[in-house]
Amino acid sequence: MASAAAPTTRGTAAAEAADGPFRSAPTSARVTICASSPTSSRSWLSPFRSCGSRAARSAVSSAPSRSSDPFAAAIDVATVRVVAAVKAVGASNPVVLIDGRSGAGKSSLARRLVAAWPLRGRVQLVALDSLYPGWDGLAEGVESARELILNQHARGFVGVWQRWDWDASAHAEAHAVDPSLPLIVEGSGIITPVTARLSDVRVWLESPSESRRRRALDRDGETYRPHWTRWASQEDDHVRRDDPVAHATVVVPIP
């Protein structure tokens, strides 16, 4: 009986969508940095710095939860659906985008997905909270992710980007993304007609405004409250302009 074919690297579709010629991922790359968001009030600090290590995987089971918390249960369901979608890609280095408005559960799903990652080896996680250059920077942060991370990953080059320090209002240390490894990018605005061509699995989380607002303010505290409308306006522009639901491969309702 013939054995199953090993997963391949991402195919020509993403390469053709990238700016410039595609080349195979360098076998000598030793990039091990996984992005975690800054510790400012605007973003979360990922506990899974090892990007899918054995410890991280054991932290959360991939099985659906029986929790009485509707939000947690919905994130569990979303995780199972995305894991299945990742497996179906059939590549060793797929790219997953997670989008949704503030408080929809993007960061929670990203952490669960890292822990339940179904492929061998590490998975890289980048949160757009680390790229947005301030409260008016949604579109600019997405463009940076496209140019410096997604486009480079599709071409087979190491991507290098700088974290935005929200407290200092300036760029900080640099991080690298290995094109030979799978990648998750999560953040409001990340699914666009252009990034859709540079990714394999695209997840949109749909959640009611009041629920999202409560979770966001519980997470980030009073520092976010005066910026809620300001940020939501940019999310509205993104939804009207980019129609992320139409480009999503997985749409999950979150209570």
Helix 228-242 vs helix 209-220: angle between axes, to the nearest 10 degrees?
130
CB-CB contact of 101 with 112 (8 Å): no
> What is the Cα Rg of the chain in Å?
17
Note the helical H segments in 63-166: 70-89, 106-115, 138-144, 151-155
For the cut 80, the answer to whether the pLDDT of residue 36 exceeds it is: no
* pTM of structure: 0.81
Mean pLDDT, to the nearest integer, of 130-139? 98
Confidence at 56, pLDDT banded by 50, 70, 90? very low
3-state secondary structure of 136: coil
Residue 189 or 46, more confident: 189
The enclosing H or E element of 54 equals: helix 54-59
Phi, psi of 115 (to 5 degrees): -65, -30
Which sign does the torsion angle of CA 245, 115, 112, 31 carry? Answer: negative
For the cut 70, the answer to whether the pLDDT of residue 49 exceeds it is: no
Confidence at 9, pLDDT banded by 50, 70, 90? confident
Residue 229 corresponds to which tokens in the numbers above? Answer: 């409308």
How far apart are the C-alpha atoms of 128 and 153, rounded to whole Å? Answer: 16
CB within 8 A of 156, min separation 6: which ones?
15, 22, 23, 24, 25, 26, 179
CA 211 centroid distance within chain: 21
| Per-residue pLDDT at 136 | 98
Alpha carbons within 13 angstroms on the beta-carbon side of residue 2 total 3
CB-CB contact of 78 with 111 (8 Å): no
Please count the residues of the chain.
255
For the cut 50, the answer to whether the pLDDT of residue 62 exceeds it is: no
Average pLDDT, the chain: 83
Which strands form 201-206's sheet, in the order they lie side by side? 124-127, 183-186, 95-100, 201-206, 250-253
| Per-residue pLDDT at 143 | 98
Mean pLDDT, to the nearest integer, of 113-118? 98
Residue 220 or 30, more confident: 220
CB within 8 A of 214, min separation 6: which ones?
103
Q: Which of 113, 148, 112 is nearest to 130 (CA)?
A: 148
CB-CB contact of 189 with 100 (8 Å): no
| Per-residue pLDDT at 51 | 40
CA distances from 189 to 45, 155, 199 (A): 20, 22, 14
> Domains, the chain, ranges and CATH?
31-253 (3.40.50.300)
